[in-house]
């Protein structure tokens, strides 16, 4: 299994609680089920995503945005990113998504690595009886393929993503579907994610979010979005979820 170390410049060290969430520690210590984002939370998927974005834009003879704009493709729904970062209308953005998938399905999904510590964290949470679910805006078949490639599919009770027809891309919709499949209510659930749209989507679905600083979002982005707590490394999740 390939592993990716968390980027040192993204770390605050340990755990940082949102001061506005005074009861968050008690609630998260017993969280079940635990939902995990995929890109930037379980795997360092940036290289494959960016290579596929470049391939899609080249196939459509579209100009490349700057590096900062390209980096913002990692995490949010693809069709939204093509519209926002490349100034495409909805029809052109969907053409770009299809071109992206042609490259990603063959090459990009495996230009990827599991973050150090993630397998051990998943094993510890499962050993404590927690239900684990992947909730990603990535198309569900790709999410399952990637997890199987890294021998992590069996760690999860379910994997929920967007549909190939472009539906259920909003994070709140993905989270709601994940909860519908595994939990009778939102009570006790939490999402772990690395970008603001993860946090906003979780809150819109009625559950708190843990901000993962080893991924592609910044601490300020996650704080502003309303994360209940920020964790520096995967292993710090255990201090929050198994306290």
Domain ranges of the chain: 3-44+113-241, 46-110
* Distance, CA of 215 to CA of 17 (rounded, Å): 18
* Mean pLDDT of all residues in 180-198: 90
Write b or e for each residue in 100-122: b if 16 or more Cβ atoms lie within 10 A of its Cβ, otherwise e: bbebbeeebbbbbbbbbbbbebb
Active centre residues (catalytic): 37
* Distance, CA of 57 to CA of 15 (rounded, Å): 39
CATH superfamily of 3-44+113-241: HAD superfamily/HAD-like (3.40.50.1000)
pLDDT value, residue 243 = 81
* Distance, CA of 33 to CA of 179 (rounded, Å): 8
pLDDT value, residue 3 = 57
| pLDDT tens digits, one per residue of 99-145 | 999 999 999 999 999 999 999 999 999 999 999 999 999 999 999 99
Summary mean pLDDT of the chain: 91
| pLDDT tens digits, one per residue of 9-18 | 343 458 998 8
* Mean pLDDT of all residues in 79-92: 96
DSSP 73-86: TSSS-HHHHHHHHH
- Note the pTM of the prediction, 2 decimals: 0.88
* Mean pLDDT of all residues in 5-12: 44
Chain-centre distance for alpha carbon 6: 15
DSSP 197-224: HHHHHHHHTT--EEEETTSSS-HHHHHH
Find the Cα–Cα–Cα–Cα dihedral 47, 49, 52, 56, rounded to 10°.
Answer: -140
46-110, which class in CATH?
A: mainly alpha
């Amino acid at each position: 299994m390939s592993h990716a170390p968390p980027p040192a410049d993204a770390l605050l060290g340990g755990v940082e609680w949102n001061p506005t969430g005074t009861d968050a520690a008690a609630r998260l210590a017993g969280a079940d089920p635990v939902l995990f984002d995929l890109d930037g939370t379980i795997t360092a998927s940036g290289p494959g995503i960016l290579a596929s974005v470049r391939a899609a834009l080249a196939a459509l003879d579209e100009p490349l945005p700057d590096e900062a704009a390209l980096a913002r493709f990692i995490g949010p729904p693809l069709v939204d990113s093509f519209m926002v970062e490349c100034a495409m209308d909805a029809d052109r953005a969907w053409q770009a998504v299809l071109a992206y998938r042609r490259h990603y399905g063959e090459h990009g999904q495996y230009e990827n690595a599991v973050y150090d510590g993630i397998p051990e964290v998943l094993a510890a949470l499962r050993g404590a009886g927690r239900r684990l679910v992947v909730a990603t805006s990535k198309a569900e078949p790709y999410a399952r393929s990637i997890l199987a490639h890294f021998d992590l599919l069996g760690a999860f009770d379910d994997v929920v993503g967007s549909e190939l027809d472009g539906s259920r891309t909003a994070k709140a919709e993905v989270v709601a579907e994940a909860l519908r499949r595994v939990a009778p209510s939102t009570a006790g659930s939490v999402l772990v994610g690395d970008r603001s749209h993860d946090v906003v989507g979780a809150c819109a679905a009625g559950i708190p979010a843990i901000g993962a600083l080893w991924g592609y979002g910044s601490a300020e982005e996650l704080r502003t979005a309303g994360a209940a707590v920020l964790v520096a490394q995967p292993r710090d999740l255990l201090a929050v979820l198994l306290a």
